[in-house]
Amino acid sequence: MLRLTVQDSVLDIDPDNGAAIRRYAKGDREVMRAARDGETDPLETANFPLVPWCNRLRDGAFVFEGHKVKLPPNFGSSPHPLHGHGWKVAWRVVEASSSRATLSYTHASDEWPWSYEATVVYELRPDGLRCYLSVKNLSQAIMPAGLGFHPYFNRTPQTRLKASVDGVWLSDDEVLPRNWHAGPLKKHWTEGDVVSHDVTIDNCYTGFKGKAEIFEGDRLTHILRASPNCHWLHIFAPTHDQSYFCAEPVDHMPDPFNQPNSGLKCLKAGATDMVWMDLTVID
Protein backbone atom coordinates (compact mmCIF):
# COMPACT_ATOMS: atom_id res chain seq x y z
CA MET A 1 0.00 0.00 0.00
CA LEU A 2 1.12 3.55 -0.77
CA ARG A 3 0.12 6.36 1.59
CA LEU A 4 0.02 10.10 0.84
CA THR A 5 -0.46 12.69 3.59
CA VAL A 6 -1.03 16.46 3.54
CA GLN A 7 -1.84 18.18 6.83
CA ASP A 8 -4.80 16.20 8.22
CA SER A 9 -5.61 14.39 4.95
CA VAL A 10 -4.64 10.79 4.19
CA LEU A 11 -4.86 8.94 0.87
CA ASP A 12 -4.16 5.20 0.67
CA ILE A 13 -3.45 3.74 -2.79
CA ASP A 14 -3.30 0.05 -3.74
CA PRO A 15 -0.86 -0.39 -6.67
CA ASP A 16 -1.39 -4.16 -6.75
CA ASN A 17 -5.13 -3.93 -7.31
CA GLY A 18 -6.01 -1.57 -10.11
CA ALA A 19 -4.16 1.47 -8.71
CA ALA A 20 -7.31 1.93 -6.63
CA ILE A 21 -7.74 4.42 -3.81
CA ARG A 22 -8.54 2.40 -0.71
CA ARG A 23 -9.25 5.32 1.59
CA TYR A 24 -9.41 9.08 1.50
CA ALA A 25 -9.90 10.75 4.87
CA LYS A 26 -9.62 14.33 6.09
CA GLY A 27 -9.29 14.46 9.84
CA ASP A 28 -11.91 12.13 11.26
CA ARG A 29 -14.07 12.42 8.14
CA GLU A 30 -14.23 9.71 5.47
CA VAL A 31 -14.31 11.75 2.27
CA MET A 32 -15.14 8.70 0.14
CA ARG A 33 -16.31 5.17 0.82
CA ALA A 34 -13.36 3.32 2.35
CA ALA A 35 -12.36 -0.24 1.48
CA ARG A 36 -12.71 -2.78 4.25
CA ASP A 37 -9.56 -4.27 5.77
CA GLY A 38 -8.20 -7.02 3.55
CA GLU A 39 -10.46 -6.11 0.60
CA THR A 40 -8.68 -6.48 -2.77
CA ASP A 41 -11.56 -5.95 -5.20
CA PRO A 42 -11.36 -2.44 -6.73
CA LEU A 43 -15.15 -2.47 -6.96
CA GLU A 44 -15.16 -2.31 -3.14
CA THR A 45 -12.74 0.61 -2.84
CA ALA A 46 -13.01 4.42 -2.96
CA ASN A 47 -12.00 4.99 -6.59
CA PHE A 48 -10.16 3.38 -9.50
CA PRO A 49 -9.12 4.43 -13.03
CA LEU A 50 -11.03 3.20 -16.09
CA VAL A 51 -8.86 2.34 -19.13
CA PRO A 52 -9.01 1.73 -22.09
CA TRP A 53 -12.80 1.89 -21.97
CA CYS A 54 -15.51 2.58 -19.37
CA ASN A 55 -18.57 0.58 -18.41
CA ARG A 56 -19.88 -2.42 -20.36
CA LEU A 57 -19.08 -3.64 -23.87
CA ARG A 58 -21.84 -5.79 -25.33
CA ASP A 59 -20.61 -9.40 -25.57
CA GLY A 60 -17.04 -8.09 -25.81
CA ALA A 61 -17.42 -7.84 -29.56
CA PHE A 62 -16.88 -4.99 -31.99
CA VAL A 63 -15.37 -4.18 -35.38
CA PHE A 64 -12.74 -1.45 -35.69
CA GLU A 65 -10.95 -0.41 -38.87
CA GLY A 66 -12.24 -3.57 -40.52
CA HIS A 67 -10.87 -5.88 -37.79
CA LYS A 68 -13.15 -8.03 -35.65
CA VAL A 69 -12.33 -7.91 -31.93
CA LYS A 70 -13.67 -10.35 -29.33
CA LEU A 71 -12.78 -9.74 -25.69
CA PRO A 72 -13.27 -12.25 -22.86
CA PRO A 73 -15.66 -11.59 -19.94
CA ASN A 74 -14.07 -10.05 -16.85
CA PHE A 75 -16.98 -9.52 -14.46
CA GLY A 76 -18.63 -12.53 -12.83
CA SER A 77 -21.08 -14.37 -15.08
CA SER A 78 -21.75 -11.36 -17.30
CA PRO A 79 -20.80 -11.81 -20.97
CA HIS A 80 -20.15 -8.06 -21.23
CA PRO A 81 -16.57 -7.05 -20.32
CA LEU A 82 -16.54 -4.16 -17.83
CA HIS A 83 -14.33 -1.08 -17.31
CA GLY A 84 -11.36 -2.12 -19.44
CA HIS A 85 -8.14 -3.71 -18.19
CA GLY A 86 -6.65 -1.33 -15.64
CA TRP A 87 -8.83 -2.29 -12.68
CA LYS A 88 -7.86 -5.97 -13.04
CA VAL A 89 -4.06 -5.61 -12.92
CA ALA A 90 -1.17 -4.42 -10.80
CA TRP A 91 0.33 -1.01 -11.56
CA ARG A 92 3.96 0.04 -11.16
CA VAL A 93 4.84 2.95 -8.88
CA VAL A 94 6.84 5.30 -11.09
CA GLU A 95 7.43 7.96 -8.46
CA ALA A 96 6.00 8.96 -5.11
CA SER A 97 6.37 11.79 -2.63
CA SER A 98 4.41 12.59 0.51
CA SER A 99 1.65 14.24 -1.51
CA ARG A 100 1.92 12.94 -5.09
CA ALA A 101 2.15 9.51 -6.70
CA THR A 102 2.47 8.38 -10.31
CA LEU A 103 1.59 4.81 -11.30
CA SER A 104 1.84 3.11 -14.66
CA TYR A 105 0.52 0.01 -16.40
CA THR A 106 1.71 -1.33 -19.76
CA HIS A 107 -0.59 -3.59 -21.72
CA ALA A 108 0.80 -5.94 -24.37
CA SER A 109 -1.51 -6.73 -27.26
CA ASP A 110 -3.64 -9.88 -26.82
CA GLU A 111 -7.37 -10.23 -27.48
CA TRP A 112 -7.21 -6.44 -27.33
CA PRO A 113 -4.96 -6.14 -30.41
CA TRP A 114 -3.15 -2.97 -29.37
CA SER A 115 -0.37 -2.21 -26.92
CA TYR A 116 -0.66 0.84 -24.70
CA GLU A 117 0.68 2.49 -21.56
CA ALA A 118 -1.70 3.91 -18.98
CA THR A 119 -0.58 6.41 -16.34
CA VAL A 120 -2.48 7.67 -13.31
CA VAL A 121 -1.36 10.53 -11.08
CA TYR A 122 -2.82 11.27 -7.65
CA GLU A 123 -2.15 14.67 -6.08
CA LEU A 124 -3.34 15.16 -2.52
CA ARG A 125 -3.97 18.74 -1.46
CA PRO A 126 -5.07 20.33 1.83
CA ASP A 127 -8.61 20.81 0.53
CA GLY A 128 -8.96 17.99 -1.97
CA LEU A 129 -7.60 15.57 -4.52
CA ARG A 130 -6.62 15.90 -8.18
CA CYS A 131 -6.37 12.78 -10.37
CA TYR A 132 -4.95 12.55 -13.89
CA LEU A 133 -5.35 9.53 -16.17
CA SER A 134 -3.72 9.13 -19.57
CA VAL A 135 -3.28 6.41 -22.17
CA LYS A 136 -0.60 6.28 -24.90
CA ASN A 137 -0.96 4.08 -27.96
CA LEU A 138 2.22 1.99 -28.29
CA SER A 139 1.01 0.19 -31.42
CA GLN A 140 1.54 1.20 -35.04
CA ALA A 141 -2.16 0.82 -35.80
CA ILE A 142 -4.84 3.30 -34.72
CA MET A 143 -6.27 2.33 -31.31
CA PRO A 144 -9.73 3.18 -29.96
CA ALA A 145 -9.63 4.37 -26.36
CA GLY A 146 -11.76 5.79 -23.59
CA LEU A 147 -11.00 6.96 -20.06
CA GLY A 148 -12.73 7.80 -16.81
CA PHE A 149 -12.79 7.53 -13.03
CA HIS A 150 -15.00 5.47 -10.74
CA PRO A 151 -15.35 7.32 -7.41
CA TYR A 152 -17.55 5.96 -4.61
CA PHE A 153 -19.20 8.33 -2.16
CA ASN A 154 -20.90 7.67 1.16
CA ARG A 155 -24.68 8.00 1.12
CA THR A 156 -27.50 8.58 3.59
CA PRO A 157 -31.21 9.15 2.87
CA GLN A 158 -30.44 12.89 2.90
CA THR A 159 -27.61 12.76 0.33
CA ARG A 160 -28.30 14.87 -2.76
CA LEU A 161 -26.49 15.23 -6.08
CA LYS A 162 -26.51 18.26 -8.33
CA ALA A 163 -25.03 18.07 -11.83
CA SER A 164 -25.91 19.81 -15.07
CA VAL A 165 -26.89 17.17 -17.67
CA ASP A 166 -29.21 17.27 -20.70
CA GLY A 167 -30.42 13.69 -21.00
CA VAL A 168 -29.96 10.06 -20.07
CA TRP A 169 -29.34 6.75 -21.82
CA LEU A 170 -32.02 4.27 -20.82
CA SER A 171 -30.74 0.74 -20.33
CA ASP A 172 -31.97 -2.67 -21.41
CA ASP A 173 -32.08 -5.77 -19.21
CA GLU A 174 -28.32 -6.20 -19.71
CA VAL A 175 -27.66 -2.68 -18.36
CA LEU A 176 -26.53 -1.55 -21.81
CA PRO A 177 -27.77 1.60 -23.57
CA ARG A 178 -31.08 1.18 -25.39
CA ASN A 179 -32.30 4.67 -26.29
CA TRP A 180 -31.68 8.26 -25.28
CA HIS A 181 -34.17 10.34 -23.31
CA ALA A 182 -33.88 14.12 -23.46
CA GLY A 183 -34.16 16.10 -20.23
CA PRO A 184 -34.77 14.80 -16.70
CA LEU A 185 -36.24 11.38 -15.99
CA LYS A 186 -37.19 10.41 -12.42
CA LYS A 187 -34.24 12.39 -11.07
CA HIS A 188 -33.73 16.13 -11.54
CA TRP A 189 -29.96 16.19 -11.12
CA THR A 190 -29.64 19.65 -12.66
CA GLU A 191 -31.77 21.09 -9.85
CA GLY A 192 -30.26 18.80 -7.19
CA ASP A 193 -32.08 15.65 -6.14
CA VAL A 194 -31.82 12.98 -3.47
CA VAL A 195 -29.70 10.04 -4.60
CA SER A 196 -31.83 7.32 -2.98
CA HIS A 197 -34.50 5.81 -5.23
CA ASP A 198 -36.93 2.88 -5.23
CA VAL A 199 -34.99 1.07 -7.99
CA THR A 200 -31.29 0.88 -8.76
CA ILE A 201 -29.94 3.76 -10.82
CA ASP A 202 -27.27 2.61 -13.27
CA ASN A 203 -27.39 5.07 -16.14
CA CYS A 204 -25.18 7.29 -18.25
CA TYR A 205 -26.17 10.96 -18.35
CA THR A 206 -25.24 13.17 -21.29
CA GLY A 207 -24.30 16.81 -21.65
CA PHE A 208 -22.33 16.79 -18.41
CA LYS A 209 -20.80 20.22 -17.88
CA GLY A 210 -17.88 18.96 -15.81
CA LYS A 211 -19.14 19.87 -12.35
CA ALA A 212 -21.12 17.90 -9.78
CA GLU A 213 -21.96 18.88 -6.21
CA ILE A 214 -22.81 16.56 -3.34
CA PHE A 215 -24.94 17.73 -0.45
CA GLU A 216 -25.96 16.26 2.87
CA GLY A 217 -29.38 17.79 3.16
CA ASP A 218 -28.75 21.45 2.35
CA ARG A 219 -25.07 21.35 3.33
CA LEU A 220 -22.56 21.21 0.49
CA THR A 221 -19.91 18.53 1.23
CA HIS A 222 -18.08 17.81 -2.05
CA ILE A 223 -17.44 19.49 -5.38
CA LEU A 224 -16.38 17.20 -8.22
CA ARG A 225 -14.93 18.70 -11.37
CA ALA A 226 -13.77 16.87 -14.47
CA SER A 227 -11.86 17.73 -17.63
CA PRO A 228 -13.86 19.31 -20.48
CA ASN A 229 -13.75 16.10 -22.55
CA CYS A 230 -15.77 14.24 -19.90
CA HIS A 231 -19.19 14.98 -21.39
CA TRP A 232 -20.80 11.97 -19.70
CA LEU A 233 -21.56 11.26 -16.04
CA HIS A 234 -22.43 7.69 -15.13
CA ILE A 235 -24.43 7.42 -11.90
CA PHE A 236 -24.73 4.15 -10.00
CA ALA A 237 -26.91 4.08 -6.88
CA PRO A 238 -27.82 0.51 -5.91
CA THR A 239 -30.79 -0.47 -3.79
CA HIS A 240 -29.05 -3.54 -2.35
CA ASP A 241 -26.57 -1.32 -0.48
CA GLN A 242 -27.72 2.24 0.11
CA SER A 243 -24.57 3.24 2.00
CA TYR A 244 -22.83 4.49 -1.16
CA PHE A 245 -23.27 5.75 -4.70
CA CYS A 246 -20.99 6.45 -7.66
CA ALA A 247 -20.77 9.55 -9.85
CA GLU A 248 -18.31 8.64 -12.59
CA PRO A 249 -16.94 11.29 -14.98
CA VAL A 250 -16.11 9.57 -18.28
CA ASP A 251 -15.27 10.65 -21.81
CA HIS A 252 -17.68 8.30 -23.59
CA MET A 253 -20.96 6.42 -23.18
CA PRO A 254 -21.34 2.68 -22.40
CA ASP A 255 -20.80 0.16 -25.21
CA PRO A 256 -18.88 2.88 -27.06
CA PHE A 257 -17.46 0.69 -29.82
CA ASN A 258 -20.95 -0.15 -31.06
CA GLN A 259 -22.56 3.31 -30.78
CA PRO A 260 -22.33 6.32 -33.11
CA ASN A 261 -20.94 9.55 -31.65
CA SER A 262 -20.03 7.68 -28.48
CA GLY A 263 -17.11 9.92 -27.55
CA LEU A 264 -14.51 7.21 -28.09
CA LYS A 265 -11.13 8.51 -29.26
CA CYS A 266 -9.05 7.09 -32.11
CA LEU A 267 -5.38 7.36 -31.19
CA LYS A 268 -2.69 7.24 -33.86
CA ALA A 269 0.62 5.52 -33.14
CA GLY A 270 2.31 7.32 -30.25
CA ALA A 271 -0.70 9.54 -29.53
CA THR A 272 -1.97 10.18 -25.98
CA ASP A 273 -5.36 10.97 -24.49
CA MET A 274 -5.97 12.31 -20.97
CA VAL A 275 -8.75 13.08 -18.51
CA TRP A 276 -8.67 14.55 -15.02
CA MET A 277 -10.90 14.66 -11.99
CA ASP A 278 -10.73 17.15 -9.14
CA LEU A 279 -12.47 16.60 -5.80
CA THR A 280 -12.78 19.51 -3.38
CA VAL A 281 -13.76 18.76 0.21
CA ILE A 282 -16.00 21.35 1.86
CA ASP A 283 -15.48 21.68 5.60
Spatial neighbors of 200 by CB under 8 A, at least 6 apart, are 236, 237, 238, 239, 240
Q: Tell me how far apart the alpha carbons of residues 80 and 72 are, in angstroms, rounded to a whole number.
A: 8
| Mean of pLDDT over the chain | 97
pLDDT for the residue 168: 98
Query: Structural domain of residue 48, as residue ranges?
Result: 2-281
Q: What is the mean pLDDT of residues 123-145?
A: 98
First to last CA, the chain: 27
pLDDT for 283 beyond 90: no
Q: Is the dihedral of CA 24, 26, 27, 31 positive or negative?
A: negative
Query: Residue 4 has what pLDDT?
Result: 98
Rounded Cα gap, residues 145 and 85, in angstroms: 12
The enclosing domain of 267 has a CATH number of: 2.70.98.10
- Give the pLDDT of residue 267: 98
103 pLDDT band, cuts 50/70/90, is very high
- Could you give the CA distance from residue 235 to residue 212 in angstroms, rounded to a whole number? 11
CA atoms of 245 and 123, how far apart (whole Å): 23
Q: What pLDDT, on the 0 to 100 scale, is given for residue 107?
A: 98
40-89: pLDDT as tens digits: 999 999 999 999 999 999 999 999 999 899 999 999 999 999 999 999 99
Whether the model clears a pTM of 0.95, i.e. scores above it, the answer is yes
Cα–Cα distance measured from residue 151 to residue 153, given in angstroms and rounded to the nearest whole number: 7
What pLDDT score was predicted for residue 67? 86
Of 158, 156, 139, 246, whose CA–CA distance to 203 is shortest? 246
Q: What Cα–Cα distance (Å) separates residue 255 from each residue in 71, 86, 230, 252?
A: 13, 17, 16, 9
Residue 7 pLDDT exceeds 90: yes
Strands 167-171 and 201-206: antiparallel
Angle in degrees, CA 182, 133, 52, rounded to 5: 70
**Interval 21-46 mean pLDDT:** 97
| Mean of pLDDT values over 209-217 | 98
Q: Which residues contact 235 (CB under 8 A, 6 or more apart)?
A: 161, 189, 201, 202, 203, 205, 245, 246, 247, 248
Per-residue pLDDT, averaged over 148-160, amounts to 98
Q: What is the count of structural domains for the chain?
A: 1
What's the rounded mean pLDDT across residues 257-273?
96
